[in-house]
Amino acid sequence: MSQLSVRHLLGIKDITEADIQLIFETADHFKEVLNRPIKKVPSLRDITIANVFFEDSTRTRLSFELAEKRLSADVINFSASGSSVKKGETLLDTVNNILAMKVDMIVMRHSSVGAPHFLSRHIKANIVNAGDGTHEHPTQALLDSFSIREKLGEVAGKKIAIIGDILHSRVALSNIFALQKLGAEVMVCGPSTLIPRYIGELGVKVSHNVRQALEWCDVANVLRIQLERQQGKLFPSLREYTQYFGINKKILESLNKEIVLMHPGPINRGVELSSDAADSGQSIILDQVENGVAVRMAVLYLLASSKE
């Protein structure tokens, strides 16, 4: 298989295990390119990509922009703040105006669930979902699984605990889909108010005890508390959350094995992760950032190569 089964990357739910493996194999080649003295290839030199972000982003936007430039694509950056969106322009009108400038691909982040899916039904350009509300964030899940594969050799058969604010996290859902397609076991852990009521129906284990989750898993992927998405107070205080669900070096050292520690960022140090844990030898957080560029290069290259 040398081509993806889809024209858009809207979510992990829409792609196959073969698609994921193809992305990983392509990312392996691009990671080798990124370690060369000249870190650029001409693969997308005739392609124009627009990064259309309706929500704030640092890592994801920079990672996509760097991936695009490493592939020699022409890049347009759009931010909703200071744009005609503030004047009442619709999403479809905004994107169609960008496409009128002969743009080939759209990388989009939006606060509304399903926004990239809606666009995919109305425009011809390839679309990459860089996060839609609390729904999915497919490239984050791909780079997380790629990082686990790099660290442990394979994902199949491994036990992954996703710990933190599962309810408001698009990263959690995409990771669950990706890890299960690759043959891993998944557990979610957090306060009952931050765990979706029916998440067990996705075939994941559920725990409300962080030590139990850490003792069970091979890899802990720790998520931040998304206060900006919460409607009302879902736990007494950040201090109490840290007391019951925060992970520090002392807890890690008390386990009877060494686990791998991950975080999609941004980290709220001293809340879900202490600095001594985040900066420890068990952490592959910066590896995730590095792998994000290679994985996004692979996604962009494969989508640009796909036929209508």
Torsions phi, psi of 109, nearest 5? -120, 135
Which SS3 state, helix, strand or coil, does residue 161 take? Answer: strand
Torsions phi, psi of 239, nearest 5? -65, -40
Which SS3 state, helix, strand or coil, does residue 3 take? Answer: coil
Determine whether the annotation assigns residue 109 to a binding site: yes
Rounded Cα gap, residues 194 and 241, in angstroms: 11
Determine whether the annotation assigns residue 60 to a binding site: yes
Torsions phi, psi of 85, nearest 5? -60, -35
Looking at residue 145, its amino acid is S
CA nearest neighbour of 104 among 71, 78, 130, 127: 127
Determine whether the annotation assigns residue 87 to a binding site: yes
Which SS3 state, helix, strand or coil, does residue 206 take? Answer: strand
Indicate the length of the chain as a whole number. Answer: 308
Determine whether the annotation assigns residue 266 to a binding site: yes
Strands (E), 116-207: 126-132, 159-163, 185-189, 205-207
The answer to whether the CB of 129 falls within 8 A of the CB of 303 is no
Rounded Cα gap, residues 69 and 173, in angstroms: 29
Rounded Cα gap, residues 60 and 50, in angstroms: 14
Determine whether the annotation assigns residue 137 to a binding site: yes
Determine whether the annotation assigns residue 170 to a binding site: yes
Determine whether the annotation assigns residue 116 to a binding site: no
Cα–Cα distances in angstroms (integers) from residue 306 to residues 68, 94, 105, 270, 299, in the given order: 17, 25, 12, 44, 11
The answer to whether the CB of 47 falls within 8 A of the CB of 104 is yes
Annotated binding site: 59-60, 87, 109, 137, 140, 170, 224, 265-266
Annotated binding site for L-aspartate: 87, 170, 224
Annotated binding site for carbamoyl phosphate: 59-60, 109, 137, 140, 265-266
